[in-house]
Structure 1
């Protein structure tokens, strides 16, 4: 019998899980508008692209995680677009790299031709490489996506300080500081 091998959570455990899920959703919803506002500032800091370049034009072949060679000449990623140099968009690309905590942005989902008009396209560079292909706004992200942007984009370091998280009691450290 399957039920005898399965542990059924108690009502209290179930309530705690429901509360945890609700807390995560409230946290994500609370951060969303702020992250959108800050991504507008990131876009102004990074600069605006020319609007004519595609990401395929800005990345050299081979680009780790992007290029898959189907023949000795071309990879599938660069097959339809001819790489060219655009000083404006290359500067934006370099600025995105410099603001990335690990200097390895995800180019997988961003559309460089929209860098000048949609701050979200720059925000996508700070997401993980997998799992966000169909996301079209910060509002559609899950909490992990929002947290990835906060952790990977160094701009957010200037928005939060450990002193604002510290406990007023000098001998009792803030739990958030222990996590960081």
Structure 2
């Protein structure tokens, strides 16, 4: 049958291998992102409680992003002192301060921690009413792509979203060994690999390129200097899986078995545009 001939193609099997590698990378990154996101949340809330007068009330749960007045004020008409385009401070009409004296300060902190120039938080991925109680709601503002609003944790977020959080959030940078702000940094390269793998029109990949992709995924988890990312148990397990995956000679049965196993796991996680989900759909299309 035609699909069996396709599955015997080594370049296709290498493409599958690279896709599985992204799934393992996500497994390793999720606990790290969850841990550092919680640390950042605690830092922000502690800073607000120590510096704000009157004393803020946490939780809030009533503010909306469209009507929230930031703590900072515009320099002049249309000019934000934090250099954010279309900041709420530039359009003060119909904006109201947080009644609990907390959400405006979190708004400022998110902008100040955004790594892009100008800073560009993606507010649509988050719910302001959860900022004061849910660390991941703050982290999701650093995912500069749609589709993550309903993802309640790092574990429920796909590889691309986790890489966005790390790359775009300067708080994470102090927990990363490599220079994440430099051109062609490792984390940005791996994020691009995801696009190259899943946007492949013929679903084929040279073995040397697939192995190069996996080597860089391992380097992301090991992070050169062995900092917080690689110290997690899940990251260490993911590295072992990636090393095994690199040397794997994938057969037709292995592809199907791994696809079934991965699909069951992803039904539990329900990640946005999940790598395993994409892989499952493409395999089913081939088999039909």
Give me the TM-score of the superposition, normalised by structure 1.
0.69
The alpha carbon displacement at 1:14 in A equals 1.9
Equivalences for residues 40-59 of structure 1 within 5 A: 40-47=38-45, 50-51=59-60, 52-58=62-68
The alpha carbon displacement at 1:159 in A equals 0.5
Q: Is 1:20 matched up with 2:4?
A: no
Higher relative contact order (CA 8 A, sep 6+): 2
Query: Could you tell me which residue of structure 1 aligns to residue 29 of structure 2?
Result: 31
Query: Could you tell me which residue of structure 2 aligns to residue 107 of structure 1?
Result: 123
- Which residue of the other structure, out of 80, 92, 109, is the alignment partner of 2:106? 92
- Which residue of the other structure, out of 117, 141, 155, is the alignment partner of 1:139? 155
Q: Note the residue ranges of structure 1 that are not aligned, 5 or more in a row.
A: 67-77, 167-180
Q: Distance in 2 between matches of 1:153 and 1:112?
A: 18
- Which residue of the other structure, out of 81, 87, 95, is the alignment partner of 1:83? 95
Query: Could you tell me which residue of structure 2 aligns to residue 170 of structure 1?
Result: none
The alpha carbon displacement at 1:136 in A equals 2.9
Structure 1 residues 124 and 59: CA distance shift in structure 2, 3 A: farther
The alpha carbon displacement at 1:33 in A equals 1.1
Q: Distance in 2 between matches of 1:138 and 1:32?
A: 5
**CA contact under 8 A between 1:108 and 1:129: conserved in structure 2?**
no
Q: What count of residue pairs does the alignment treat as equivalent?
A: 146
1:138-179 CA-to-partner distances (Å, cap 9, x unmatched) read 22222111100010011111001239627xxxxxxxxxxxxx
Q: Note the residue ranges of structure 2 that are not aligned, 5 or more in a row.
A: 49-57, 71-77, 79-84, 180-222, 226-288
The alpha carbon displacement at 1:59 in A equals 5.4
Q: Distance in 2 between matches of 1:19 and 1:65?
A: 43
**CA contact under 8 A between 1:55 and 1:110: conserved in structure 2?**
no
- Which has the higher mean CA deviation after the structures are superposed, 127-136 or 152-161? 127-136
For the aligned residue pairs, the C-alpha RMSD in angstroms reads 3.1
- Which residue of the other structure, out of 120, 130, 133, is the alignment partner of 2:146? 130
Query: Could you tell me which residue of structure 2 aligns to residue 73 of structure 1?
Result: none
SS at match of 2:66: helix
Query: Could you tell me which residue of structure 2 aligns to residue 157 of structure 1?
Result: 173
- Which residue of the other structure, out of 109, 113, 133, is the alignment partner of 1:117? 133
1:33-87 CA-to-partner distances (Å, cap 9, x unmatched) read 1101111011112227641322233158x98499xxxxxxxxxxx9xxx631124
Give me the TM-score of the superposition, normalised by structure 2.
0.45
Q: Distance in 2 between matches of 1:44 and 1:144?
A: 25
**CA contact under 8 A between 2:69 and 2:104: conserved in structure 1?**
no
Structure 1 residues 59 and 104: CA distance shift in structure 2, 3 A: farther
**CA contact under 8 A between 1:46 and 1:96: conserved in structure 2?**
no
**CA contact under 8 A between 1:50 and 1:89: conserved in structure 2?**
no
- Which has the higher mean CA deviation after the structures are superposed, 138-147 or 19-28? 138-147
